[in-house]
Amino acid sequence: MPKSSYFAGWLIDGTGTSAQQDILIHVENGLISSLERLSSLERLSSLERLSSLERLSSLERANLAELKGLGFPVEAYPVCTILPGLIDSHVHLSMSGKIDQKLRFRQLLNEFAQNSPLICERVEKSLAFGIMALRDGGDIGGHTLTYIRQNGPSRVRVKCAGKAWRAPGRYGKIIGRIPESGSTLAESIRANRDVIDHVKIINSGLNSLNEFGRETPPQFNRDELDAAFRDARNLGRKAMVHANGELPVQCAVEAGCDSIEHGFFMGEDNMKRMADRQVFWVPTAFTMKAMRAHMPAGSGQSEAASKMLEAQLEQMGRARELGVRLAAGTDAGAFGVRHGVALAEELKLMIEAGFSIEEAIGCATSGGARLLGLDHELGRIGRGMPASFIIVDGPPSGLPDSLGEVKVVCLKGEKIAF
């Protein structure tokens, strides 16, 4: 693979630190060999939307070559921002995100042959939004897992749970199954032969749109979860737990889960526990904004969704102050939550909750990479890391809106233009 370099007007490296200006990224054999600050090239930032160094004057090209002694191509994006490839840490690739409930129900009953091309389309669509990795939370047919196993690695990394686990008679039928008859949750996890990346456990119900703040009891108690997580770890798998409300979250965190999904109404004490234990939180706040947008204006359900969104944003702001690890996830495939485009919406809500642009991007890059166990290949831009990054028009202040029109994707050194 040839050597190349990219000149960025701004760079967000994925660590949450402030954006840097006028950075030259050297790429060799698909890896980032070095990053340099080129303060003498600040004058280039005033040029209008240059897409390549070839569009500079011959004198400017000569000056740049003389300045750095470059013997290989340089692409200049002086009015663009370069940032790591993004990660959506909570999706359901077998679901569409459509709001037609009858259609959604029919899709849940699809055979694998019907769902396979839809899953493929959603995976590929993600890359156009700069998303390089997805973490699937399961579906009743295990179709996403089947798709990934049959088709092998794709340009977008997909981590799969297969089918989630739920308690008998409790919420979760659309994404999971119950333990085998006569078996505990831990025994069923241990006996499962699916080659999955992580275990998904449902430990509460849904948020009620009819009664604000209503909590449901845990689906599994702490001892059951403790045994389940221990067996999952022995199998080399992390545990992601759907949990809303104080007690369901508390049971999961104290038992040793790796992440809490959703976490509505979990309360500050649970956030402190999560910070102490370094448990990740994937808030999926956009689910409530989407719900509010598609419910009849002025209806009780719309008002409840609005209140839940406000409460979740308050929790996210407090979690930031407490040092809770956050990873950005959208629940794409849920009602009104469309694949790909939803991640930018989730990042907007993080910023509304008090995160800086760089911190929000960090939740969708290095945070997600650590959660998915991909931090050796994704999540940050640094020396020795694979050259997997995206280029968007404008300065960081244009984010996350500019994610809707990703200019270039560089995936392990391979340039993919959109």
- Residues composing the chain: 418
Question: Position of tokens 């904004």?
Answer: 289
207 or 230: which carries more pLDDT confidence? Answer: 230
Tally of structural domains, the chain:
2
Q: Is the same domain home to 113 and 174?
A: yes
Last residue of a domain, one of 338, 356, 372: 372
pLDDT at position 43, please?
Answer: 42
> Rounded to whole angstroms, how far apart are CA atoms 353 and 391?
25
As a whole number, mean pLDDT of residues 34-44 equals 66
Q: Is the same domain home to 113 and 163?
A: yes
Q: How far is CA 255 from CA 53, 118, 121, 241, 250, in A?
A: 55, 36, 37, 11, 8
> Rounded to whole angstroms, how far apart are CA atoms 410 and 418?
11
Q: How far is CA 301 from CA 282, 289, 308, in A?
A: 23, 12, 10
As a whole number, mean pLDDT of residues 2-16 equals 92
Q: Is the same domain home to 54 and 155?
A: no
* Structural domain boundaries enclosing 273: 86-372
Q: Is the same domain home to 267 and 358?
A: yes
Q: Is the same domain home to 150 and 134?
A: yes
Nearest to 67 by CA among 40, 90, 85, 92: 40
Task: Calculate the CA 87 to chain-centre distance.
Answer: 4
Least confident of 96-105, 224-233, 408-417: 96-105
> Rounded to whole angstroms, how far apart are CA atoms 202 and 220?
9
Last residue of a domain, one of 352, 372, 392: 372
pLDDT at position 53, please?
Answer: 46
Q: 224-266: per-residue pLDDT in tens?
A: 999 999 999 999 999 999 999 999 999 999 999 999 999 999 9
* 106 band by pLDDT with thresholds 50, 70 and 90: confident
Q: Is the same domain home to 263 and 167?
A: yes
SS3 164: strand
Q: Is pLDDT above 70 for 375?
A: yes
Find out whether 337 and 243 touch, Cβ atoms under 8 Å. Answer: no
Q: Is 336 exposed, middle or buried (0-12, 13-18, 19+ CB in 10 A)?
A: middle
Q: Is the same domain home to 362 and 384?
A: no
Other C-beta atoms closer than 10 Å to the C-beta of 150 total: 9
Handedness of CA 276, 277, 279, 283 (dihedral sign): negative
Task: Calculate the CA 268 to chain-centre distance.
Answer: 23
Relative to beta strand 20-28, strand 4-11 is: antiparallel
Q: Buried b / exposed e across 95-128, counting CB within 10 Å, b at 16+?
A: bbbeeeeeebeebbeeeeeebbebbeebbeebbe
Relative to beta strand 74-84, strand 4-11 is: parallel
What does the DSSP 8-state code read for residue 333? T
Least confident of 68-82, 112-126, 272-286, 383-397: 68-82
Question: What's 190's domain CATH number?
Answer: 3.20.20.140
Q: Is the same domain home to 358 and 224?
A: yes
* 37 band by pLDDT with thresholds 50, 70 and 90: confident
Other C-beta atoms closer than 10 Å to the C-beta of 300 total: 13
As a whole number, mean pLDDT of residues 179-205 equals 95
Q: Is pLDDT above 60 for 126?
A: yes
Q: 331-349: per-residue pLDDT in tens?
A: 999 999 999 999 999 999 9
Average pLDDT, the chain: 90
Handedness of CA 68, 74, 76, 81 (dihedral sign): negative
Q: Is the same domain home to 200 and 331?
A: yes
> Could you tell me the pTM of the whole model?
0.92
Please give the full DSSP string across 58-81, using - where no structure is assigned.
Answer: HHHHHHHHHHHT--S-EEEEEEEE
Find out whether 274 and 294 touch, Cβ atoms under 8 Å. Answer: no
pLDDT at position 117, please?
Answer: 95
Phi, psi (rounded to 5 degrees) for 262: 85, -75
SS3 226: helix
Q: Is the same domain home to 173 and 36?
A: no
Question: What's 33's domain CATH number?
Answer: 2.30.40.10
Please give the full DSSP string across 269-303, using - where no structure is assigned.
Answer: HHHHHHHHHT-EEE--THHHHHHHHHSPTT-HHHH
Q: Is the same domain home to 27 and 119?
A: no
SS3 10: strand
Q: Is the same domain home to 55 and 181?
A: no
> Rounded to whole angstroms, how far apart are CA atoms 118 and 139?
14
